[in-house]
Amino acid sequence: MGYQNWAGNFTYGATERIYPESMEHLQQLVREHRHIKISGSGHTFNSITDTHGVFISLRHWNRMLELNEERGTVTVEGGIAYGELCAALSETSYALHNLASLPHITVAGAAATATHGSGSGNASLAAAVEAIELMDADGELHTFSRGDREFAGVVVNLGALGIVTKLTLKVVPAYTMRQFVYENLPFSQLAVHAESIFSGAYSVSLFTDWQQPGFHQVWTKCREEDGASYEGHADYYGAVPASAPLHPLPDMQTENCTEQLGRPGMWHERLAHFRMEFTPSAGQELQSEYLMPREHVYEAVLAVHGLREHLAPLLFVSEVRTIAADDLWLSPFYNQPSAALHFTWRDDWQAVERVLPLLEEALAPFNARPHWGKLFTVPEATLQGQFEKLPQFRELIDKYDPDGKFGNEFLDTYIRAAQKP
C-alpha cells in the first residue's frame, strides 16, 4: 500500500518520501528527480497532491524564523503546521487574523489551496501571506513580496510552481475570544438578516444536515477588543444559547472541540473548531465545498435543501461560512466577498460521486466554484471559465516549471489545458 492522505480515501502514486536536511539537499533532490511533489499534512481529499515520482516532506522545516514587530510580520519555514505556528506565536504578543476549522494543516498547503476560516471581514488564510520564497524546477530560489508583479499569482499556487520554502505572514496584536454556540436557526432568517447573522461575531459558522429547514447549530467566535469582555446573546435571530458544549456532528466527543459557553481564551484556542491534540471533524469522511458570491447565500441554501432526500444517507453535516474578498489569482474569493457551503460526507465515494453533479447543478446558477482541495465533479471547462486569471497562472507554470516536474493529472486536467492569454 502506498502513501495515503489524511482521510485515507486517496492513495498517492509516490514511490518514496524524502525528508531533506538542508536547502542544498533540497536543491539537489529537485535537480536529480524528474517528478516531485511536496506533501504537506495530506488534508486534501482529491488528487491535487499526487505524483508518480517522489514525495518531499518538509515536516522538519517547521520553525518560526523571525517575528518582525516593526512590519507586523512573521516568517516561517515551508513545512510548519498552523498548530506549531500558534504554539510559537503564543509565546509572543502577536496573533494570526484567522484559522481554518483545524490547526493540523500546514501553512504552505493551506495557502496553495486558498484554505479559509470564517468571518464577513476575514479574508482567506492565503490572504495573510506578505512574501513567499519558492524553489523552481531548476532548484533556483525566488522571493515574491506583496506588490511584486507575480505575487498575486504565486500564493494560491496549487503546488504547481515549485516548493515553498518560506512564507512571511501578517500578524496582529494577540487577542482573546469567547465562543458561543446557539441552537436552531431557521433558514428563513437568512432571507432578511444574512448580512447581520454572518457579521454578528468575528467568525460565524452555521451547521445543518438539511433535514429540517434550519441550522441545528450556530457557532460564533467573538473577539474581545481592548480587554472589553463580550457577552453572548439571549437569542441569535431565533436561535437559543446551547447549555452544554456541542460537536457539530452527532455522537462525537465534544472534548475534540475548542472551548465554548463563552469561556474566554486566547485566539488560537477558539478560532479553530477542533483542537490540535484531537482528531478533527469525523475522521472517517470525505469533504466537498462550493464558494459563491455572498449575495446568493440564502437562495443557495434553499436550492440545497431541495436535494435533502439525496443528501440524507450520505451526509454527516454541512457548514455555511462567509469569507472576505482577496486579490489572489486562483483564489475562489478573488475580488468577491463570498459564502461557502461545505459538505462533510460519509466515506462512500461511489455514492458521493453520484450526488455531486446534482449538487453542482443546483449551485450552478450562483457561479459556485469548488474548493481546490476537496472533492468535486465540475467539468474542467466550467471550472476554467470560473477563474479569469487562470491563463496568467499557466504562464507562471511555463516559467517556473516548464517541463511539469511538479505536475500531475489534476493539474494537467484543470490547469495546464487552459488557454494562454
Ligand X SMILES: Cc1cc2nc3c(=O)[nH]c(=O)nc-3n(C[C@H](O)[C@H](O)[C@H](O)COP(=O)(O)OP(=O)(O)OC[C@H]3O[C@@H](n4cnc5c(N)ncnc54)[C@H](O)[C@@H]3O)c2cc1C
CB 258 within 8 Å of CB 179? yes
Contact between 40 and ligand X by CB under 6 A: the answer reads yes
Give me the residue label for grid cell 513580496.
145
CB of 9 to ligand X, least distance (A): 10
Contact between 190 and ligand X by CB under 6 A: the answer reads no
Q: Closer to ligand X at the Cβ: 189 or 418?
A: 418
Q: Closer to ligand X at the Cβ: 126 or 304?
A: 126
Cell numbers describing residue 334: 478573488
Task: Report residue 223: phi and psi, to 5°.
Answer: -95, 135
Q: Closer to ligand X at the Cβ: 103 or 214?
A: 103
Site residues (CB under 6 A) for ligand X, limited to 5-24: 6
- The CA-atom distances, in angstroms, between 2 and each of 9, 39, 159, 389 are 12, 13, 20, 35
Report d(CA 258, CA 348) in Å as an integer.
28
CB 275 within 8 Å of CB 290? no
CB 270 within 8 Å of CB 260? no
Contact between 257 and ligand X by CB under 6 A: the answer reads no
The one segment of 16-24, 85-93, 111-119, 303-311 that binds ligand X by CB under 6 A: 111-119
Q: Closer to ligand X at the Cβ: 154 or 189?
A: 154
Residue from 14, 26, 108, 154 touching ligand X (CB under 6 A): that is 108
Residue from 43, 216, 221, 389 touching ligand X (CB under 6 A): that is 43
Contact between 286 and ligand X by CB under 6 A: the answer reads no
Q: Closer to ligand X at the Cβ: 214 or 280?
A: 280
The one segment of 41-49, 196-204, 206-214, 360-368 that binds ligand X by CB under 6 A: 41-49
Contact between 115 and ligand X by CB under 6 A: the answer reads yes
CA angle 199, 202, 203 (to 5 degrees): 85
- Mapped onto helix, strand or coil, the DSSP state of residue 365 is helix
Site residues (CB under 6 A) for ligand X, limited to 147-186: 158-159, 163-164
Contact between 281 and ligand X by CB under 6 A: the answer reads yes
Residue from 9, 98, 106, 168 touching ligand X (CB under 6 A): that is 106
Contact between 370 and ligand X by CB under 6 A: the answer reads no
Q: Closer to ligand X at the Cβ: 179 or 189?
A: 179
First to last CA, the chain: 42
- Taking alpha carbons only, the member of 251, 330, 317, 254 closest to residue 289 is 317
- The CA-atom distances, in angstroms, between 273 and each of 65, 230, 255 are 27, 19, 11
Residues that bind ligand X (rule: CB under 6 A) add up to a total of 34
Contact between 102 and ligand X by CB under 6 A: the answer reads yes
Residue from 14, 26, 30, 58 touching ligand X (CB under 6 A): that is 58
Judging by beta carbons within 10 Å of its beta carbon (0-12, 13-18, 19+), is residue 243 exposed, middle or buried? exposed
Report d(CA 200, CA 187) in Å as an integer.
16
What does the per-residue mask of binding to ligand X show for 311-350, with x meaning CB under 6 A? ----------------------------------------
Report d(CA 356, CA 285) in Å as an integer.
15
Contact between 187 and ligand X by CB under 6 A: the answer reads no
Site residues (CB under 6 A) for ligand X, limited to 398-417: none
Contact between 49 and ligand X by CB under 6 A: the answer reads yes
Q: Closer to ligand X at the Cβ: 39 or 220?
A: 39
Contact between 120 and ligand X by CB under 6 A: the answer reads no
Bridge partner residues of 291 (DSSP): 340, 369
Residue from 113, 168, 176, 189 touching ligand X (CB under 6 A): that is 113
Bridge partner residues of 223 (DSSP): 177
The one segment of 95-103, 179-187, 190-198, 258-266 that binds ligand X by CB under 6 A: 95-103
CB atoms within 10 A of CB 73: 19
Report d(CA 307, CA 85) in Å as an integer.
40
Contacts of 249 (CB under 8 A, 6+ apart): 281, 282, 316, 317, 344
- Taking alpha carbons only, the member of 76, 52, 72 closest to residue 62 is 76
Contact between 41 and ligand X by CB under 6 A: the answer reads yes
The one segment of 43-51, 88-96, 177-185, 230-238 that binds ligand X by CB under 6 A: 43-51
Q: Closer to ligand X at the Cβ: 159 or 214?
A: 159
DSSP letters for 372-394: TTS-----HHHHHHH-TTHHHHH
Binding site for ligand X (CB under 6 A): 6, 37-44, 48-49, 58, 78, 100-102, 105-106, 108-110, 112-113, 115-116, 158-159, 163-164, 280-281, 287, 371, 373
